[in-house]
Amino acid sequence: MASFVPLSPDTLEDQRLYTSARLTEVACLDCLATVGVKKNSEHHTSIQWSTEARAHCPELTRRAGGRESHAGCPRMLASIETAVREGAVPVGAEDGY
């Protein structure tokens, strides 16, 4: 029932690598949200929210609905920057993922 069904088991491993490997948990300094973060470089950031974390974020909840809801939460971004500065989030890619 999938949009495309992979034929090789290796593809499932690729899906895991690209979507969930090397995510570091970062807790927001201002609310109860905790997200998964990956930084392949100084400029790159990948942020995976969960349903629970999303419900905790007052900023994103306030903006839900309109076009503006797609900008990141500045408090979470600041929390991630702090975590990176403190060395809690490793910066660097592993073979492209």
Partner 1 sequence: MSDTGSSTRYLDQGKPPERFARGWHCLGLESAFADGKPHGIEAFGTKLVVWQDSQGGTNVLDGYCRHMGGDLTQGSVKGDEVACPFHDWRWGGDGKCKQIPYARRVPLRARTQKYPVVIRNGQVLVWHDVEGGAPDMDVLPPELPGIGTDEWTDWFWEVVPIEGSNCRELIDNVVDMAHFYYVHLSFPTSFRNVFEGTRATQYMASKGRPDVSGGYGDAEMFLKSEATYYGPSYMINWLEVDYKGFITEVVLINCHLPTGPDSFTLQYGIAVKKPEGLDEKTAQYIAKKYATMFGEGFLQDVHIWKNKVPVQNPLLCEEDGPVYQLRRWYEQFYVDVADIAPEMVDRFEFEVDTTKANEFWQAEVAENLAKKAREDGEGADGVANPEAEGKPQVMTGT
Q: Which residues bind partner 1 (CB under 8 A)?
A: 1-11, 13-15, 18-19, 40-51, 54, 60, 66-67, 69-70, 72, 93, 96-97
φ, ψ (nearest 5 deg) of residue 24: -105, 135
Count the alpha carbons within 13 Å of 36 in the hemisphere toward its beta carbon: 11
Give residue 20's region: left, alpha or beta (phi > 0; psi -120 to 50): alpha
Q: How far is the CB of 78 from partner 1 (least distance, A)?
A: 14
Q: How far apart are CA 53 and CA 3, in angstroms?
A: 28
Q: How far is the CB of 30 from partner 1 (least distance, A)?
A: 17
Q: Which is nearer to partner 1, 20 or 29 (CB)?
A: 20
Token readout for 12 is 């499932």
Q: How far is the CB of 34 from partner 1 (least distance, A)?
A: 13
Q: Which is nearer to partner 1, 6 or 90 (CB)?
A: 6
